[in-house]
Amino acid sequence: MTRVNFKLIAKRLSFLVLVIWAASTIVFFVPRLSPRNAIRERFAELARSGGFAPGDIEKLIANMNQQFGLDKPLLEQYWTYLGNIVRMDFGYSLNRYPATVTDIISQALPWTFFLLLVTTILSFIIGNLLGAVSAWPKAPRWLRSIATPFVLLTGVPPVIMGVLLLFFIGFRMKLLPLGGAYSIGVVPNWSLDFALDLLRHQLLPGLALILGSVGGWVLSMRGMGVTIQGEDYVNFAEHKGLTGGRIFRDYYLRNTLLPQVTGLALALGTVITSAIIVEGLFGLPGLGTVLNNAIRANDFPVIYGIVLFITIAIAVLMAVLEFIYPLLDPRVRNQ
Amino acid sequence: MTTIVATSAPEAAVQQPGRLTLLLRYFNRNKGLAIGLIILIALVLFTVIGLMTINPKQAYPLSVATKQPPSLKYPFGTDFFGRNLLAAMVVGMWQTAVIGVIAGGLGTLIGIVLGFTSAYFGGWIDSTIRTICQILTPIPVLLIQVVVAGSLDKRDVTIITMALIVVMLAWMGPTLVIRAQVLTMKERQFVSVAKLSGVSDIAIIFKEILPNLLPFIAAAFVGQVFAAVFASFYLAVLGLGPLREPLLGNIIWAAQLQGAFFNGWWWWPIGPSIAMILILGSLALINMGLDELANPRVRRTE
């Protein structure tokens, strides 16, 4: 076994902490620089519909400010806030009080997580295989040209892909549902019918995300595949008489996949934000819809909580990908 | 390339092709750039002619009959709020262009200034700028923009503030690109020669390095415009744009909010979606084409 490089790990972890700290600080100070006061707005809204006397509102707001610790000095608030972030405590939702933001996020998270997991893995595999094949000179012509339509779709944001899929497949052909997590009137249960219903509702958003990201993988993989063809070890393998499939798998894919894993780490931010917006479009009950509703209802703690949570998740995932990289690449492992 | 006319006198034998021919030949080699430019010009024409012929009032609610499907009178139909979608798209594309150019221009400018300072002076300035860029890069820009846009009073969100929000966190990319280019450029001989002949730092930056970086700067600018259009589109789709304005993302947000497909108003989100595809597609093609122009080694693999 190789010796674990503690210094490198410490460096990466401190970078991770720095990123999370920077994001938390931005999320703390930006709203406090703004003239908007979430609590005041909330009560003004309640007053319009409910009928409080203005004097009572001032008292209520003062009371609330005290309860949320907003009357304390800014620096003290900042320290409390950083402590809360470490404990993953993002405060209470204004709109769905007494639910905490953490509750709301953990209810929505499984939806987003599975959608993201499946679509990211599928588009990574499909994109890299297509890209590798399209740069592989021995592949049949028809196989190489499959990649072209995906490349043309590269610039299209997944949410627009979603609108087009909704129009053609959902609206025109009436093949798949137009939105929601499951059919209206169905009660969630553990039957096969319900599972199929769930799946049918996930197909279009999933397809939108996959079509929106496959092209990117194809492009970067193809670029890399072309440079690797001229390498001596590929020529050597050919002259040794290895079969095409063997060279493709063990010499060609093996070496081109490594930089693509780094690419995956860098693309995580885009992938996750796209997924959230697509979820909002299709009204799936994941983080995207929660964020959409929170924006509409001015539920600031939920907006900030989701933003911070996703930022932390992305930073952690990037660090994890960096840590598993040595397992994939023996050259890095031995250094 | 030159064409040789064999029969004429020797001094007239080598005939340089005209500028236009050369340009066309270049476009033939760099087809992506040509197609991107053609789409972009078509979009600009659509917007300019549209702005001159339509009534911009119809881009706002309650100006025409509601929920009309596409017809001769309303080529893209009208929406739930009584906007003529053709007018809305013309105004929306104009506003998208304003956001893109302001945010792209500012982002590139900040990137040039920071990138040059960082690379040319080095030392602690360089490490500070680089560290800030590295820490901010993994933070998803859109999410921070959501926080900024959400903190603003809805009445304060205009096209200009949208552009400023977008640019606030979008200068890291160009800074790093320009920095890397200046670093390699700094080691070239012509810069050393200039330095040895006593040319000042400022003069070296503006007369020696900057002109050589123009293709990179152009590519960075187009990339920034692309990123700005993309980011403002996403913000608008989330309902954080200037809600009164017919920005393309806003139209899609409103259509989704009113359940356009559930209610059969299919034309409502389709037009803006196609417009957005064309805008982003043309910018992406131009960006790739400029990359190839700036760095001929990055040949695409067709």
How does pLDDT run across B244-278, given as a tens digit for each residue? 888 888 888 888 888 778 887 888 888 889 899 99
Confidence class for position A263, pLDDT limits 50, 70, 90:
confident
Any idea which residue has 């995956």 for tokens?
A: A264
Residue A94 has pLDDT above 50, yes or no: yes
Report d(CA A306, CA A90) in Å as an integer: 9
Q: Which of A307, A316, A322 to mutate to test the interface with B (most CBs of B within 10 A)?
A: A307
Q: Are A143 and A229 in contact (CB under 8 A)?
A: no
Any idea which residue has 């006593």 for tokens?
A: B198
B273 in A contact zone (CB under 8 Å): yes
A234-252 pLDDT per residue, tens:
888 888 888 878 888 888 8
A297 in B contact zone (CB under 8 Å): no
DSSP element (H, E) containing B94:
helix B85-121
Count contacts between A and B (CB, < 8 Å): 127
A292-335 pLDDT per residue, tens:
888 888 788 888 899 899 888 888 888 888 888 878 877 776 55
Average pLDDT of chain B is 82
Segment A114-120 shows an average pLDDT of 92
Segment A154-178 shows an average pLDDT of 83
Report the pLDDT value the prediction gives residue A334, as an integer from 0 to 100. Answer: 59
Report the pLDDT value the prediction gives residue A243, as an integer from 0 to 100. Answer: 81
Interchain CB distance below 8 Å, B240 and A295: yes
Closest to B156 (Cα-Cα) out of A34, A293, A29, A296: A34
A161 to chain B: closest CA residue? B273
Strand ranges (E), B7-135: 14-15
Segment B58-67 shows an average pLDDT of 76
Q: How many CB atoms lie within 10 A of CB B248?
A: 28
Helix, strand or coil for residue B297? Answer: coil
Report the pLDDT value the prediction gives residue A125, as an integer from 0 to 100. Answer: 92
Assess if residue B176 is contained within a domain: yes
Quote the pTM value. Answer: 0.83
B32-50 pLDDT per residue, tens:
888 999 999 999 999 999 8
Q: Percent of chain A at pLDDT above 90?
A: 7
Out of A28-42, A155-169, A205-219, B288-302, pick the least confident: B288-302
Closest to B255 (Cα-Cα) out of A160, A29, A85, A249: A160
Out of A118-132, A175-189, A201-215, B248-262, pick the least confident: A175-189
Number of domains in chain B: 1
B177-225 pLDDT per residue, tens:
888 888 888 888 888 888 888 888 888 888 888 888 888 888 889 989 9
Residue A1 has pLDDT above 50, yes or no: no
Of B141, B143, B301, nearest to A223 by CB-CB distance is B301
Report the pLDDT value the prediction gives residue A333, as an integer from 0 to 100. Answer: 67
Confidence class for position A166, pLDDT limits 50, 70, 90:
confident
Print the domain residue range for B63.
Answer: 50-294
Distance from CA of B150 to the nearest CA of A (A): 7
Confidence class for position A53, pLDDT limits 50, 70, 90:
low
b/e burial code for range A248-285 (CB count within 10 A of at least 16 → b): beebbbebbbeebeebbbebbbbbbbbbbbbbbbbbbb
pLDDT winner (highest mean) among A117-121, A188-192, A220-224:
A117-121
Chain A residues closer than 8 Å to B35 by CB: none
Report the pLDDT value the prediction gives residue B110, as an integer from 0 to 100. Answer: 93
Closest to A101 (Cα-Cα) out of A243, A301, A286, A278: A301
* Helices then strands, each counted (H, E), chain A: 15, 0
Report the pLDDT value the prediction gives residue B300, as an integer from 0 to 100. Answer: 45
Assess if residue B198 is contained within a domain: yes
Report d(CA A282, CA A177) in Å as an integer: 10
The CA-to-CA distance between both ends of chain B, in Å, stands at 23
B148 in A contact zone (CB under 8 Å): yes
H helical segments located in A166-285: 192-229, 232-239, 244-246, 254-282
ipTM of the complex: 0.81
Q: Which residue has the higher pLDDT, A187 or B158?
A: B158
Which residues does B156 contact at the CB level (< 8 Å), separation at least 6?
A: none
Report the pLDDT value the prediction gives residue B151, as an integer from 0 to 100. Answer: 80
Assess if residue B13 is contained within a domain: no
Report d(CA B37, CA B286) in Å as an integer: 7
Distance from CA of B135 to the nearest CA of A (A): 5
Q: A136: burial class by Cβ within 10 Å (0-12, 13-18, 19+)?
A: buried
Helix, strand or coil for residue B4? Answer: strand
Distance from CA of B299 to the nearest CA of A (A): 9
Closest to A201 (Cα-Cα) out of A88, A81, A285, A307: A285
Report d(CA A135, CA A248) in Å as an integer: 11
Q: Which of A28, A90, A153, A163 to mutate to test the interface with B (most CBs of B within 10 A)?
A: A163
A180 in B contact zone (CB under 8 Å): no
Assess if residue B275 is contained within a domain: yes
Find the CATH number of the domain harbouring B230. 1.10.3720.10
Beta bridge partners of A100: A92
The CA-to-CA distance between both ends of chain A, in Å, stands at 13
B261 in A contact zone (CB under 8 Å): yes
B142 in A contact zone (CB under 8 Å): yes
Q: Which residue has the higher pLDDT, B117 or A223?
A: B117
Report the pLDDT value the prediction gives residue A119, as an integer from 0 to 100. Answer: 93
Report the pLDDT value the prediction gives residue B13, as an integer from 0 to 100. Answer: 58
Assess if residue B204 is contained within a domain: yes
Residue B12 has pLDDT above 60, yes or no: no
Report the pLDDT value the prediction gives residue A264, as an integer from 0 to 100. Answer: 87
Report d(CA A117, CA B212) in Å as an integer: 44
Interchain CB distance below 8 Å, B138 and A314: yes
Chain A residues closer than 8 Å to B138 by CB: 19, 269, 314-315, 318
Interchain CB distance below 8 Å, B153 and A36: yes
B146 in A contact zone (CB under 8 Å): yes
Q: Are A123 and A209 in contact (CB under 8 A)?
A: yes
Assess if residue B29 is contained within a domain: no
Q: A36: burial class by Cβ within 10 Å (0-12, 13-18, 19+)?
A: middle
Report the pLDDT value the prediction gives residue B301, as an integer from 0 to 100. Answer: 42
Helix, strand or coil for residue A58? Answer: helix
Structure tokens belonging to residue A243: 């079969």
Q: A191: burial class by Cβ within 10 Å (0-12, 13-18, 19+)?
A: exposed
DSSP element (H, E) containing A293:
helix A287-296
Assess if residue B280 is contained within a domain: yes
Backbone φ and ψ of A87, nearest 5°? -90, 10
Residue B1 has pLDDT above 50, yes or no: no
Q: Are A98 and A279 in contact (CB under 8 A)?
A: no
Assess if residue B11 is contained within a domain: no
Chain A stretch 53-82, residues whose beta carbon is closer than 8 A to a beta carbon of chain B? none
Phi-psi domain of A286 (left: phi exceeds 0; alpha: psi -120 through 50; beta: other) = beta
Interchain CB distance below 8 Å, A295 and B238: yes
